[in-house]
Amino acid sequence: MERKTIYLCLAHMSEQGLEQQYIKEAFDTNWVVPLGPNVNAFEKDLEAFVGENKQVVALSAGTAAVHLALIGCGVGPGDEVCVQSFTFCASSHPIKYLGATPVFIDSEKDSWNMDPELLEQAILERKAKTGKYPKAIVPVALYGMPYDCEKIMAIADKYGIPVIEDAAEGFGSRYKGQVLGTFGKYGVLSFNGNKMITTSGGGALICPDEKQKNKIMWYATQAREAYPYYQHEEIGYNYRMSNICAGIGRGQMAIVNDHIAHHKHVQALYAELLKDIPGVHLHEAPNADYDANYWLCTITIDPDVRIQGQENAYKETVKSAVGGAAGVIHQVDSPTTDCQPNENIEALRVYMLAHKIEARPVWKPMHKQPVYANCPAYVNGISEAIFKIGMCLPAGPMVTDEDVAYIVQTIKEAIV
C-alpha cells in the first residue's frame, strides 16, 4: 500500500461531528455573517479556557489580532515596537501597517524566545536615541514554547510599556501554570488550519477587561459611530470572525485538550527515538516552568552531520513555496541568500519530502529579512545560528506513533 504523506500539522475534526452540527445551525438560522450565536459562544469557550477573568474577541486571523492589539496600545506613525526577531512575519508586519518601526530582539538559547537582557538594553538605547520608550513589546511563543514571562513582564512594568503576547503558536501553553496570552495587556491567538485548533482560518485577541474588548470589537467592525447611518470618525477594519468559522471553533474546543496531550505525546516519542542519533538534538523545554504545547517538534543538526544528496543542496531554485500556497510566490533567480540553513538541513528536507514527510526549516529571523534591512536590531547571534541548523518535524493530531517511528527511521537512513 502506498504510504500517505505525513504533514507537519493538520486540523482534526471532533469525532462527534460537533463542527458540522454548529455549522448546520448557522445555515438553518441564516446566520452566515461575521457575527452570530457561534461567535458569541466560541468567545465564551475561549474565555473559560484561558481563565484569569480575561475577555476574548474572535477575529478573522491572528494577524488581525496583532494589528488590533497594536492599535489598542496606541501604536502609530513614528513609534517603535520591540518584537521578537525569531518568528513568523505576522508578528512584525502589522507594526509596519501602522507606520511604526519594529525593533527586533534576538533570542535566548534555551527557550529560543525573546532575550530579556537584550530587551532591556534595547528599551534603554531606544529611549536615549529617540527620546521616548518603545510603544509596546511583542514576545512570541515560538513553536509553542513559552517565553520567560516573569522577566519580560518585570521589564515591561519597570518602564511602563504594554506587552502584546503573540501566543499564535502557543495556544494552551503555560508558564508556571498560567496560560500564555494572559500575562500582558493583550494576547494573540491563531486558529489557522495548521494550529492547535482551527476555525479553517481565524484568530482571537485576549483582552484585559470588557472595556478593552468592546474597544477592539469596535475597531474590528469598521469603527462605526452611534448614528442611524454610517458615521466614521476613526479608521476601522473588517476583522470579525464569521459565524460559520466560529461554529468550527466551538467543535474544536471540545477536543483541544486531547490535541495538546497528543502533541506532548509526540514530543516524548521523538525524545525517546532520537536520543541515540549522534549530531541530532531535539529542542525541549528549559525547565518545569515552561509547559509547552509542542505545536511543532523541532530539532537541530550539527554542521558535520552528512546527509544523502547534500552535494546537490541549493543547486536549483525552489519552484513552489515550502509549506506555502504554490502560485502566489515570486520566482527567484538564485537558489541561495546571504542567510540560509546549512546544506545538510536543506538536503534532509529534500530527502524527507521524497519519502512523503513534510519537514521545514525553522523561521528565518526577521532581522535577516530584506524587507526589514533598515530596522533596528539587538542581536546576539542565537536565532541566526539556530536558523542554520534547525528543522521542524510533524507533530499534528493526524501524526501516529507509527508515523513518528517512520520519520525517525528516515532521518537515520538519510545520514551518511
Domain of 262, CATH number, reads: 3.90.1150.10
Pair (298, 239) in one structural domain: no
Choosing from 201, 233, 255, the residue where a domain stops is 255
The vertex-338 CA angle with 337 and 342, nearest 5°, equals 80
Question: Residues 141-156: pLDDT tens digits?
Answer: 999 999 999 999 999 9
Answer whether 121's CB lies under 8 Å from 380's CB. Answer: no
Retrieve residue 109's grid coordinates: 538559547
- Structural domain range at position 150: 18-255
Pair (228, 342) in one structural domain: no
Answer whether 303's CB lies under 8 Å from 389's CB. Answer: yes
Q: How many CB atoms lie within 10 A of CB 401?
A: 11
Which pLDDT value is given to residue 318? 82
Answer whether 375's CB lies under 8 Å from 103's CB. Answer: yes
Domain of 190, CATH number, reads: 3.40.640.10
Closest CA to 209 of 65, 52, 334, 368: 52
Structural domain count, the chain: 2
The vertex-206 CA angle with 200 and 208, nearest 5°, equals 165
Strand order in the sheet with 136-138: 136-138, 80-84, 101-105, 377-378
Choosing from 255, 274, 308, the residue where a domain stops is 255
Strand order in the sheet with 55-59: 55-59, 203-207, 186-190, 164-166
Pair (163, 192) in one structural domain: yes
As a whole number of angstroms, the distance between CA 327 and CA 342 comes to 26
Question: Residues 59-114: pLDDT tens digits?
Answer: 999 999 999 999 999 999 999 999 999 999 999 999 999 999 999 999 999 999 99
Q: What is the DSSP letter of 400?
A: -
Answer whether 251's CB lies under 8 Å from 14's CB. Answer: yes
pLDDT band, residue 325 (cuts 50/70/90):
low
Mean pLDDT of 1-24: 86
* Model confidence at 324: pLDDT above 60: no
